[in-house]
């Protein structure tokens, strides 16, 4: 039977957890961010303004953000397998209902409800962290986090399906066509995911927080470093989510590209921002999270500054890909900090960091839209990103300087203490 002690001892249990959760996270991330592409034909059909469109994409991101702390705790308390299965089933109905929506209000309601899929990240982090030893957690969590590549699924298949499936639908209209076919497809795939979780992951759920009071699990949140990690995650993940849903519109509006071309170019950003996460985990395991974050922030700072100045489409795409590389590596580095500093509270701390980081994905598109509405300068998107990175980089550097000063004082104190001890000769 799956989940026996023998399987866990040989590593088969942890491998199945990692594989299924990573594939499941990729699917649920695709569901969570589907409005990045679907929003374009929805805008045309419903006659939406840019602000309304940004709210439609942002409301799903909000729903998948605000529950991350709670779901991280639930995973530690009740088991990651149970919570991942619950999220897959919970997202199925709103995914289907999006395809049936006939009003903007209806779309907003179902978009908010389908956003629950975004909470799969904090559940998966907690689920995987209890199956892997500390020396392998950076790489394992990096592999799981590579499920962010799910943001590219809609970009790759969405425009093609929208073009291929007639608006009248299939089976005499029983299956909707056009953009409405995509959420129908996701509904079916979520059902397949639920079956896979049930059949192929260990039935034994590890629950490190099963006997701990919730208030005890929340105690680490009083530390400033938890909130600092959260800001870092806004940069490498919140901005990633924001750009994933914003870039197709940016390419269409600024460079006058077709939706299909815009979606494909956005995928060039999504791939490194997702698939390099295992590399970020490996580098963080080997060199430490702090040096990795220095490089990440430095590269992203320069790239976002150049993007804010305005460049042609070729340079724009190259610089956005470089930003994506930094985000892919940086996401794993941030989550390497957590089991290092809070090994018993990965669910709660990871949930809070994930929640606040994802909330960045909610607020940033709204800020992009509001700033563009006010200035009519599209490059303000990357000026906002530049300022956010600069603040995070400065906080990291000030913290490192403080740690170095503290280390010098401790070394000086030990030296003085040693010198003050009388020797036998004296």
Q: What is the pLDDT of residues 193-230, one digit of tens each?
A: 999 999 999 988 887 766 777 777 677 778 888 889 99
Residues 6+ apart with CB under 8 A from 274: 145, 146, 147, 148, 149, 150, 151, 152, 328
Q: What is the pTM of this model?
A: 0.74
- The percentage of the chain sitting over the pLDDT mark of 70, rounded to a whole number, equals 92
Work out the number of other CB atoms within 10 angstroms of the CB of residue 341: 15
Name which residue leads in pLDDT, 218 or 16: 16
Can you give the pLDDT at residue 62? Answer: 86
Can you give the pLDDT at residue 168? Answer: 58
Boundaries of every domain in the chain: 5-410
Average pLDDT of the residues in 372-384: 92
At residue 265, does pLDDT exceed 80?
A: yes
Residues 6+ apart with CB under 8 A from 217: 73, 76, 77, 209, 345, 347, 348
CATH fold of 5-410: Growth Hormone; Chain: A; (1.20.1250)
The helix/strand/coil state of 114 is: helix
The dihedral formed by the CA atoms of 248, 362, 17 and 324, expressed in degrees to the nearest 10? 50
Q: What is the pLDDT of residues 395-420, one digit of tens each?
A: 999 988 887 888 788 777 777 666 66
Instruction: Pull the structure tokens for residue 270.
Output: 């999504």
When pLDDT is cut at 50, 70 and 90, the band that residue 171 belongs to is low
In a 13 Å sphere around the CA of 282, the CA atoms on its Cβ side amount to 7
The DSSP 8-state label assigned to residue 381 in this structure reads: H
């Amino acid at each position: 039977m799956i989940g026996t002690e023998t399987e866990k001892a040989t590593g088969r249990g942890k491998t199945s957890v990692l594989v299924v959760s990573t594939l499941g996270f990729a699917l649920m991330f695709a569901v969570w961010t589907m409005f990045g592409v679907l929003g374009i034909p929805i805008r045309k059909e419903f006659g939406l303004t840019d602000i309304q469109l940004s709210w439609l994409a942002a409301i799903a991101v909000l729903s998948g953000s605000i529950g991350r702390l709670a779901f991280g705790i639930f995973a530690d308390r009740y088991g990651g397998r149970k919570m991942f299965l619950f999220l897959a089933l919970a997202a199925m109905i709103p995914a289907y209902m999006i395809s049936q929506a006939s009003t903007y209000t209806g779309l907003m309601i179902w978009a908010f409800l389908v956003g629950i899929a975004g909470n799969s990240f904090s559940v998966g982090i907690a689920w995987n962290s209890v199956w892997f030893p500390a020396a392998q957690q950076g790489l394992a969590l990096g592999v799981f986090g590579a499920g962010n590549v799910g943001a590219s699924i809609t970009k790759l298949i969405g425009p093609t399906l929208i073009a291929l499936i007639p608006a009248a639908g299939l089976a005499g209209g029983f299956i909707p066509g056009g953009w409405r076919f995509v959420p129908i497809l996701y509904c079916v795939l979520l059902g397949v995911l639920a079956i896979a979780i049930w059949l192929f992951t260990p039935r034994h759920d590890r629950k490190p927080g099963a006997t701990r009071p919730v208030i005890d699990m929340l105690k680490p949140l009083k530390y400033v470093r938890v909130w600092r990690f959260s800001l870092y995650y806004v940069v490498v993940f919140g901005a990633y989510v924001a750009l994933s849903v914003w870039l197709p519109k940016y390419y269409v509006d600024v460079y006058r590209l077709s939706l299909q071309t815009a979606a494909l170019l956005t995928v060039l950003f999504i791939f490194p921002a997702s698939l390099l996460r295992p590399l970020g985990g490996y580098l963080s395991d080997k060199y430490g999270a702090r040096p990795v974050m220095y490089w990440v922030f430095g590269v992203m700072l320069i790239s976002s500054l150049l993007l804010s100045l305005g460049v042609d489409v070729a340079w724009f795409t190259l610089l956005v890909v470089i930003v994506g590389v930094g985000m892919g590596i940086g996401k794993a580095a941030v989550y390497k900090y957590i089991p290092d500093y809070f090994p018993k509270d990965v669910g709660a701390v990871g949930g809070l960091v994930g929640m606040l980081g994802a909330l960045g994905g909610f607020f940033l598109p709204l800020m992009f839209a509001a700033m563009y509405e006010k200035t009519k300068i599209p490059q303000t998107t990357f000026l906002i990103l530049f300022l956010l990175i600069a603040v995070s980089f400065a906080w990291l550097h000030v913290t490192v300087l403080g740690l170095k000063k503290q280390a010098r004082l401790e070394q000086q104190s030990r030296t003085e203490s040693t010198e003050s001890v009388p020797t036998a000769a004296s």
